Amino acid sequence: VRLYLARIEAEQHLNAFVEVYSSDSLQRAEEIDAKLTAGTAGRLAGLVLGIKDVLCYAAHGVQAGSKILDNYKSPFTATAVQRLLDEDAIIIGRQNCDEFAMGSSNESSYFGVVRNAADRARVPGGSSGGSAVAVQAGLCHASLGSDTGGSVRQPAAFCGVVGLKPSYGRVSRWGLIAYASSFDCIGPITKSVEDAALLLEIMAGADEFDSTVSTKQVPAYSKSRTWNESQKVRIGYLRESVESEAVAPAIRQRTLEVIEQLREQGHTVEPVEMPLLKYGLPTYYILTTAEASSNLARFDGVRYGYRSQQASDLESLYKKSRTEGFGEEVRRRILLGTFVLSANYYDAYYTKAQRVRKLIRSETEQLLTRYDFLISPVTPTTAFKLGEKTDDSLQMYLADIFTVGANVAGTPAIAIPNGLDENGLPIGLQVMTQAFEEEKLLSFSQYMS
């Protein structure tokens, strides 16, 4: 803990943490040390963990990177976090993120931008940027992020670490500040696939506080990771992802090399078409903004956090608190979501997007009955420069073109490091499989990495 505290201090300019729990974590370390001596320590004894600022931890601040939750302390702990604590993980602090987990660059946080440790003039990706950089720069062993459309995998790829988005419903969302409830997943960001497997194993499973979490039994992910090399699989790769000019040449090249290597190892690797891929982003942005506009209605200046001092009556209290408390991107999405849910447009946008979601899901499921895994790059480019896309939301949204599919379909997907580009920036490879097949996904990615 002391080592990590010193590193966090030395790397403050990365802005990965919004709050560090120095005395808390040192005290817990001592308690766990005593347990180790007594032989009663849990499976994560000594693991130093950072949590994204959207995960509740009792008696600690949590504010989703937003001014609107200023001074808010959570009265309870998220299930996923509690399960890690129960195994004696030590939480060293909460990590910077895009406001309400909306973003792909970690430039929209109330606490300022986060920097990529590979090149400080570049973004770490988002929205779990602080969590990815913290692992990249060795400021903690592992982090917990949240992934609604790519927010664990995309920053993991930009920072050269491992990011796992589990199947929807594998991990309880209780205590995760909601962005878009039918997409949100808590996922680990780690140095290795093995670490991700262990954290998932401990966090996953039924929870009476989340009615959408699956009651399916949780396999011992950490024990089943050795891939039997004689087992040959069928893999599909998105043809577009290695042919399109929109994907950076170094990324296409590295992806092709992986394809070649898998073939040499005796696996069947074939190009696949996903005609509905181009509808992934519009579907995602209609449905997530709709859900966000509803989820964020609770932040009204009355119940939580920030309250405007300029208000003269109840209506102006709501209006001014929300206008002053939310940043620009969050306000944009609340407006978009309110629009697509409004009486005159509901059928044209919201209902239609729900239908398209169903089509994308069945297209993905069908492909995954023909192939064991689907692989693609995680992102079309490597980490871009700070400020490069802040004026163009549509360009920013394109960063998630390969990641949103897994959230739309509810399937698990992992980002693993796949070399560097010509500027020494990390490249990621995404591997996806059928829902609730994390065991297979983890052991195959372990074998590949």
Among 65, 129, 149, 166, binds ligand GLN (CB under 6 A): 149
The backbone torsions φ and ψ at residue 265, rounded to the nearest 5 degrees and listed phi first, read -80, 0
Integer Cα distance of 36 and 28 in angstroms: 12
Q: Which residue among 400, 437, 438, 439 contacts ligand GLN (CB under 6 A)? A: 400
Tell me if 151 contacts ligand GLN by CB under 6 A: yes
Residue 117: other Cβ atoms inside 10 A: 21
User: How many chain residues touch ligand GLN (CB under 6 A)?
Assistant: 14
Alpha-carbon span 138 to 8, nearest angstrom? 9
Query: Quick check: is 127 catalytic?
Result: yes
Residue (406 or 448) nearer to ligand GLN, CB: 406
Q: In the window 301-360, what residues touch ligand GLN (CB under 6 A)?
A: none
Question: How long a stretch of residues is the chain?
Answer: 449
Distances in Å between the alpha carbon of 397 and those of 41, 99, 103, 232, 402?
Answer: 44, 15, 8, 36, 11
Considering beta carbons, is residue 180 or 375 the nearer one to ligand GLN? 180
Residue of 61, 65, 93, 103 interacting with ligand GLN (CB under 6 A)? 103
In the block, tokens 């102006």 appear at 316
Nearest to 92 by CA among 162, 181, 21: 21
Report how far residue 10's alpha carbon sits from residue 246's, in angstroms, rounded to the nearest whole number.
Answer: 38
Residue 127 within binding range of ligand GLN, rule CB under 6 A: yes
Q: Using CB under 6 A, pick the residue from 18, 102, 378, 408 that binds ligand GLN.
A: 102
CB 426 within 8 A of CB 162: no
Closest alpha carbon to 197 in 50, 54, 93, 44: 44
Judged by CB, which is closer to ligand GLN: 85, or 102? 102
**CB closest to ligand GLN, residue no:** 151
| Catalytic residue from among 25, 52, 146, 389 | 52
Catalytic site includes residue 151: yes
Structure tokens at 260: 């070649």
Q: Which of 151, 321, 376, 443 is catalytic?
A: 151
Among 66, 79, 104, 445, binds ligand GLN (CB under 6 A): 104
CB 305 within 8 A of CB 299: yes
- Closest CB 285 distance from ligand GLN, rounded Å: 7
Asked if 402 interacts with ligand GLN (CB under 6 A), we say no
Decide: is 77 part of the binding site for ligand GLN (CB under 6 A).
Answer: no
Q: Which range of residues in 142-150, 268-276, 309-317, 355-363 is near ligand GLN by CB under 6 A?
A: 142-150
Residues 6+ positions from 12 with CB-CB distance below 8 Å = none
Query: Measured between alpha carbons, how far is 320 from 307 in angstroms, rounded to an integer?
Result: 8
Task: Report, in Å, the least distance between residue 102 CB and ligand GLN.
Answer: 5
Q: Which of residues 173-232 bind ligand GLN (CB under 6 A)?
A: 179
Q: Is 147 in the site for ligand GLN (CB under 6 A)?
A: yes
With contact defined as beta carbons under 8 Å apart, do 160 and 136 qualify? yes
Q: Residue numbers of the site for ligand GLN (CB under 6 A)?
A: 101-104, 127, 146-151, 179, 288, 400
Q: Which residues are catalytic?
A: 52, 127, 151
